[in-house]
Structure 1
Amino acid sequence: GTPGPGLVVDLDGCDRAEAMRTALSAADHAVVGRPLAVALLGGEPALARAAADHDVHLVVTDGSRGWTLLTPAGERHDGPAIEVDAVDATGAGDCFTGAYCAELDRGRSPLEAARFAAVAAGLSCTRPGARDGLPDRRAVESWLAAHPTPEVPEPTRTP
């Protein structure tokens, strides 16, 4: 069968750059919120370098501003957050990370997993509560079917 996703790390608990780098070096995939990533590692060039140096798929989430996937090969994919009438964003980041892990485990590529996770996180904001607001797989698939992804441009290469 297809190998699983390997080690996926949620970096949002890190409080020091050294801890974040240690986690990145152990991970195959890592998810982190942009404010923390920038505070501990630096801006875009530093984040892209971290993905390459640590051979990790790094997903940087940024709430309603969307997400960025930085690959070990130096590719950068940017994705939007879905537009929703947000009621409660509590747990949206955890929802993103959980959905990303689940999709990798189902054999999806990191890019497909991040797109799916962004929809799940967006839908989770439409109902109150970190747990009660979680969408099920059918709701996410239904949203994706109704909003097909436009032709995806080639990924941006970081110099």
Structure 2
Amino acid sequence: MNAGGKVLFVGDISLDTTLRLGYIPQPDEKLHVKIDNESAGGVISNAALACRLAGGRPILAIETGDDLFADSLLATLQQAGIEIVSRKIPGRTCRAIILIEPHGEKRLLLEPGVSLYPSVEWVQSLSLTGIDWVHTAVYGDAAWPLIEQARLAGSRWSLDLEPATFIEGIAALTPLLEGAEVVFCNQRALDQLGEHPEQQLLDRGVKAVVSTLGARGATYVSAIHRADAHYPLTPNLVDTTGAGDCLAGWFIACMLAGKSPKVSLTEAVYAATYSCERAGAQPSYPDRQQLAAFQQASQR
């Protein structure tokens, strides 16, 4: 696969601890659980790894805390072939506790720490020379200068539209949305937008919207084109953590490699489904060989 241009991922990194439990305990009840895994996580870090596994050329720009596990998180991503641009600042790296119920759905507890989004002054120091695409989620004020830098550099950019980033309405994010190549929305974000959510985003200048719809797959909508993709079987849900991040990173890698939105979305849906049938976020993501085998097996 042609790797295409470089993608700069700017955003969060966390230590994810996944606990599997049979049910939600009652008040003052002690419940024994199983730790499925502990690994690097974070919306943007996850997407960067998926992009790399899809054959892309990601650069991950993040700030971490100065705690003991920050270096090990970075080392894991570097070993996967991701170029890291980072610095340590005083404080705790983000920590996520993920509770997995028997049917595979998750409940997430997040301590943001200092690594949820880099600072404005550090983001402004980043070079976008040679960067073809920028991907981020608006978890901090530095998203505004970042997108302006992308505009000035002539780079495409995409946003993961997390529901927590527009609690008071989507209007405040309009300056970031105008001109965005793609905005990724999960079902909660679509519901929060209200009626005709995709058209709302297109009306604000977004070029295309990718809506992730759980087991129903995903859709790509632009002003002139629509594509739908779905997994043809009933997935065996084990853990849905990070599936949307996997889809976003894989989709970006495919688009930069010159594939059509339909082909890119189909591959991304299969990659996300593959991850849902395994425990954890990053440890569950497929590489190209694993995805090809998964696609072939699902079409028999």
1:48 deviates by 2.9
Going from structure 1 to structure 2, the CA distance change for 1:99 and 1:8 (only over 3 Å counts) comes to: same
Alignment partner of 1:21 is 2:174:
yes
Going from structure 1 to structure 2, the CA distance change for 1:55 and 1:36 (only over 3 Å counts) comes to: closer
- Superposition pairs for residues 6-17 of structure 1, below 5 Å? 6-12=156-162, 14-15=165-166, 16-17=169-170
1:87 deviates by 0.8
Q: Which runs of 5+ in 1 are unaligned?
A: 149-159
Which letter does structure 2 place at the counterpart of 1:102?
A
TM-score, length of structure 1 as denominator length: 0.77
What is the match of residue 183 of structure 2? Answer: 30
SS in 1 for 2:178: helix
Cα deviation, 1:54-95, whole Å, max 9, x if unaligned, reads: 15111011111221111122x332322453211111110111
SS in 2 for 1:129: coil
TM-score, length of structure 2 as denominator length: 0.43
Equivalent pairs: percent with the same residue? 28
Could you tell me whether the CA contact under 8 Å between 2:238 and 2:278 is conserved in 1?
Answer: yes
Please identify runs of 4+ aligned residues in structure 1 that moved more than 6 A: none
Structure-1 separation of matches of 2:276 and 2:236: 8
Cα deviation, 1:101-127, whole Å, max 9, x if unaligned, reads: 111121112221111110000000111
Could you tell me whether the CA contact under 8 Å between 2:160 and 2:185 is conserved in 1?
Answer: yes
Alignment partner of 1:139 is 2:279:
no
More moved, 60-69 vs 139-148: 139-148
Going from structure 1 to structure 2, the CA distance change for 1:70 and 1:20 (only over 3 Å counts) comes to: farther
What is the match of residue 59 of structure 2? Answer: none
Could you tell me whether the CA contact under 8 Å between 2:174 and 2:204 is conserved in 1?
Answer: no
What is the match of residue 76 of structure 1? Answer: 226
- RMSD over aligned Cα atoms: 2.5
Could you tell me whether the CA contact under 8 Å between 1:96 and 1:118 is conserved in 2?
Answer: yes
Structure-2 separation of matches of 1:98 and 1:72: 23
Alignment partner of 1:120 is 2:271:
yes
Could you tell me whether the CA contact under 8 Å between 1:11 and 1:23 is conserved in 2?
Answer: no
Which letter does structure 1 place at the counterpart of 2:209?
L
Going from structure 1 to structure 2, the CA distance change for 1:65 and 1:20 (only over 3 Å counts) comes to: farther
Alignment partner of 1:39 is 2:192:
yes
Structure-2 separation of matches of 1:54 and 1:17: 13
Higher alpha-carbon Rg:
2
Alignment partner of 1:59 out of 207, 210, 217: 210
Could you tell me whether the CA contact under 8 Å between 2:209 and 2:222 is conserved in 1?
Answer: yes
Which letter does structure 2 place at the counterpart of 1:31?
F
How many residues matched? Answer: 145
Going from structure 1 to structure 2, the CA distance change for 1:24 and 1:110 (only over 3 Å counts) comes to: farther
Structure-1 separation of matches of 2:173 and 2:198: 11
